[in-house]
Every structure is written in structure tokens, then in C-alpha cells.
Structure 1
């Protein structure tokens, strides 16, 4: 019994010694073993769309999103509209060339006369519709009222009174009057009226529905005005405050007739094709000069601005 126990102890001792020797093998510096062993992972079932995309058709992302359970919000391409005013001038008035009446004996004069008769007939029908909704409307007094609206709107523009300007011009005319005036100073005055204003055109269009009527009246106004625009540095860009100019304008005044609280407002201007071109804008340009030291002055140096050399341009 004792001999068998001794044999088992000897065998266990030999096994433990051999296991310890094998455990010391990886730690031996003389026999290095790689610390990271390549291990095969799961197979890659999803390939990013950027890989091997050439020569393949792109899949619909909406179908993928629906399959994944993601709800994509529908995009509406509709544009909101404002029914307080129309989007433009309906059947605009075409002023005769030079604002003069040609002889009916000529071909152009006869065509001009027939066009005036056609437009005046349509204007009379529109004035009847306007009087049905606005009993105080008359062509004699309305021209002076339109001129007052024009003067007050431009005075509000020079004073940057947005609340007052919104009540005098339509939502279509407001951005056209205020665009690009953020860092500018405007000086405008109405000197006098050279000719009494008069109504030359009237239309009564409808929008969205048949009974939603709008009144558009075109007023001819010939006056003397002054306009001066200064940039943010206070330099003159356009016009003059001292030199008035004779200006012939065709103003379009509009009102939403169905609205009981509607009022006549400035809607736009009609610029004829024969009108003279506008004056060019004087731009402020920085001319490079000499580099001055802190104790030097430009006037004391008598520096002359160099003029550009003449260049011959060949076609």
C-alpha cells in the first residue's frame, strides 16, 4: 500500500515538473512567440455603398429606409402665396412711344388709336366693377390720391419706417423698394407736379377663385423730383440733392376689393421700352498710395496719383 502511494506521488511530481517546464517556454526570450494571432471573424454580409460603386446602379434610398422601418417625411414642392395682393401687373399699360399722340393718317398712328380705344373700353368695364365694391372711387379724385400715396411711401422709405411703408405698398412692391438699401442713405424730395396726374388704365383681375377681385389702376404722373443716394461711407453714389429732374412715371395702384378693410396701395411701376437709361452708379474705389510713417502726412509729401498708361486694344 505504501509502495503504491509512493509511486503515485513520484508520478504526480514528474507531471507537475513537466507542466512547469512547458509553461516557462512562452516566457523564454530566446524563443519568441507572436502576441497577436490571426483569428477569423464572422463573414461580412454588408458592403458600404462607396465600395465598387462604378458600373452599378444606385439603389433607391427610400425603399431601403422603408425596409428598415424608417419613415421619411414627404417633401412638398408647393410655394405659399399671399392673397392680399397679386403677384404682378395684370395686362400692363403700354404707353405710346415718346408719350405723344401720332397722327391717325399714318399707319402707326392708326394702330395706336385702335389700341387706345380697345384699352379704354376694357378700362371702363373694370372701373364699373371697382365702383361696385368702392362707391367713393372716381377717376378725377383718385389720381391725386395716388400721388399722395406715392409721396408718403417714398418719405417712409427715406426714414426707414417699415410699419408705415407696409401700409402704403403691397407685399410685392415692398422688397423691390427696400432691396439693397441696408447700408445706404437716401435723400428724396418731391419738388412739384409739372402736369396734373390722371388715370390712364384700369383692370379688375381675379385670383385663386372667380369672385376674388383685385383693382389695378395705372396713373400717369409727370413731376420734378430730387434723389441722392449715399453709401455707408457718406460718399455720393447716385443723383444730387440740389439738381431736380423731370420724371415721367406710370404708377400701378392696387386694392383687394373683396376685403372690406382693404386700401389702395402702391403695387409697382411700368417702365416703357423707350424710357431713357438710368444714370450710372458712382462707385468708391480705394487708390493705393505710399506707405506713411506715423509722423508723416500725405499732404506734406506732395504725392501725385499715378494715371494708368494708355493701352491699345486690338480686335
Structure 2
């Protein structure tokens, strides 16, 4: 009779110990019991795709949104408009083939002279319009002024004086002059003029509205220059500082004539089709 009672007491003791251990485990701070259960209250009709999804095909988010009833807003690519200068060259001057090499006394040289005289009628009308807004404009003095603008702009480009360069070139010409020159060293020098600069072309068209005039004057400049371009390690990429070259250029100078505070600035260059190809930079 004593043995069954003892076994019963041992079983009760074991059951009590196991219940106490389970209670301690439930009160353990390292493994807290969640006090709330997540409840889904609202259904999401459109779920965006995961970021950096690998080895899985991404669906078209626009098509999924359209199927869910959500309409994407149409995106417009807007281009900024600058009224301080025009976006191009109006009626560009076509240089005669063999310019600066043919004599005016030869047969072909005389043909070029007669064609230039025929084309000068439109230029004279444009010069009259320019003089109505700029009383100090003269063809002879303007050619020398354009040459000074050209020399000063290229000196600022070699010294990376961006603030002054903006006042000498238009917003269209600035990126064309500075593109790709960030890590390069430019050594440029103007030596002399082989021929005096002269005005060969002029246009004064309306833009956007009548009376909004932009004056564009093309100046022919034949000079001797030196140019050397070095990379960021000091290695020569193009040209030479000691060997000068004869350069024939057609500069386009522009001004917003309606603006009383406007000034003549370098707008671009005209490269004839018969000109030799540019020398590629050494890399």
C-alpha cells in the first residue's frame, strides 16, 4: 500500500516541476510573446515592383497600374528657351572654294568677286537694320572689334575664366567651346593677322514675333596662331607651342538688337565643306 502512494507522489512532483518550467519559459524576456496579431484592413490594388530584382522578369508597371485602374501622369520633356541669343545661324555664309589661295586677278578669283557682289545686296539691307539699333556700327570698325572679341574669348578659354567667357560668347557657343576641356591644359596664342579682317555677310531676321531682331554678322579672319593641348598628365595631345599655323576662319558674331544692354558676342564658326579635316587628339 505504501509503494503505490509513493509512486503517486513522485508523479505529482514531476508534473508540478514541468508546469513550473513551462511558466518560466513563457515569462522569459528573451522570447517575448506577441501582444497583438496583424490584421489586414485594406487591400492594395497596385504593388510596385521590388528594387534590384535579380533573375526575375519585371512586369510593366504602367500596364499593371492601368489594369488596377490607376492612370500614370504623362511626362513632358520640356526644353528651356533662352531669348538672349538665337539657337543657330540664320542663312549661313557659304565661303567660296579656294578662298585665301586664289588671286583676285585670276579667272576663278574674278568669278568669286562677282558672286560676292551679288550676295552683298541682302547684307546691305541687314546692315541698315543693325545701324537703326546700333548707331556706332560700321563694317570696318566692327571687323576689328570682332577680332578682339575672338582673341579675348580664346585667352579666357585657355585660362578657364568662365565668368568673363560668358560675357564674350553666347549661350549656344559656350558649351561648344568648353566641351571636353575639363582635364586638359590649353596653350593658345595669336601671333599676327595675315590679312585685315572684313565683314563678308550680315543677316538681321525676326524671331518669335515681329520686331524681335537678332543681328548676325560673319567676319572673315585670316591669321597666324599657335595651339597646343595637353592632357592632365602633361602629355601633348595636339599641336605645338612653337610651330605657328595659318588659320582661315569665318566667325559669326551676334547681338540681340532689341535689348538696350545687349552686346556683340561670338556665336559660332562656319566651317566650309572644302576645309581639311580636323586633326584627331592623341589618346
Return the TM-score normalized by structure 2.
Answer: 0.73
Question: 1:217 maps to which residue?
Answer: 217
Q: Does 1:65 align with 2:67?
A: no
Question: 2:173 maps to which residue?
Answer: 173
Q: What secondary structure sits across from 2:212 in the alignment?
A: coil
Q: Indicate how the Cα distance of structure 1 residues 64 and 176 shifts in structure 2: closer, same or farther if over 3 A, else same.
A: same
Q: Does 1:256 align with 2:256?
A: yes
Structure with the largest fraction of strand: 2
Structure with higher Rg: it is 1
Q: Indicate how the Cα distance of structure 1 residues 101 and 242 shifts in structure 2: closer, same or farther if over 3 A, else same.
A: closer
Contact 1:84/1:256, CA 8 A, preserved across alignment: yes
Q: Residues 273-288 of structure 1 correspond to what in structure 2 (within 5 A)?
A: 273-283=273-283
Q: Does 1:268 align with 2:268?
A: yes
Please report how far the alpha carbon of residue 118 of structure 1 lies from its aligned counterpart in structure 2 after TM superposition.
Answer: 3.9
Q: Residues 75-154 of structure 1 correspond to what in structure 2 (within 5 A)?
A: 75-99=75-99, 100=102, 115-154=115-154
Q: Residues 194-213 of structure 1 correspond to what in structure 2 (within 5 A)?
A: 194-213=194-213
Counterparts of 1:278 and 1:88, CA distance in 2: 22
- Count of matched residue pairs: 230
Q: What secondary structure sits across from 2:141 in the alignment?
A: helix
- Please give the per-residue CA displacement for 1:62-94, whole angstroms capped at 9, x wherever unaligned: 98226xxxxx55533332210100001100000
- Please give the per-residue CA displacement for 1:229-269, whole angstroms capped at 9, x wherever unaligned: 00000000000000000000000000000000000000000
Counterparts of 1:49 and 1:157, CA distance in 2: 49
Return the TM-score normalized by structure 1.
Answer: 0.66
Question: 1:191 maps to which residue?
Answer: 191
Contact 1:104/1:113, CA 8 A, preserved across alignment: no
Counterparts of 1:160 and 1:256, CA distance in 2: 26
- Please give the per-residue CA displacement for 1:50-73, whole angstroms capped at 9, x wherever unaligned: 9xxx9xxx577398226xxxxx55
Counterparts of 1:163 and 1:49, CA distance in 2: 46
Counterparts of 2:128 and 2:67, CA distance in 1: 56
Q: What secondary structure sits across from 2:70 in the alignment?
A: helix
Counterparts of 1:188 and 1:146, CA distance in 2: 18
Counterparts of 1:47 and 1:211, CA distance in 2: 54
Q: Indicate how the Cα distance of structure 1 residues 60 and 281 shifts in structure 2: closer, same or farther if over 3 A, else same.
A: same
Question: 1:300 maps to which residue?
Answer: none
Contact 2:46/2:68, CA 8 A, preserved across alignment: no
Counterparts of 1:155 and 1:122, CA distance in 2: 34
Counterparts of 1:240 and 1:120, CA distance in 2: 38
Contact 1:212/1:258, CA 8 A, preserved across alignment: yes
- Please give the per-residue CA displacement for 1:137-163, whole angstroms capped at 9, x wherever unaligned: 000100000000000000000110000
Runs (5+) with no aligned partner, structure 2 = 1-42, 50-58
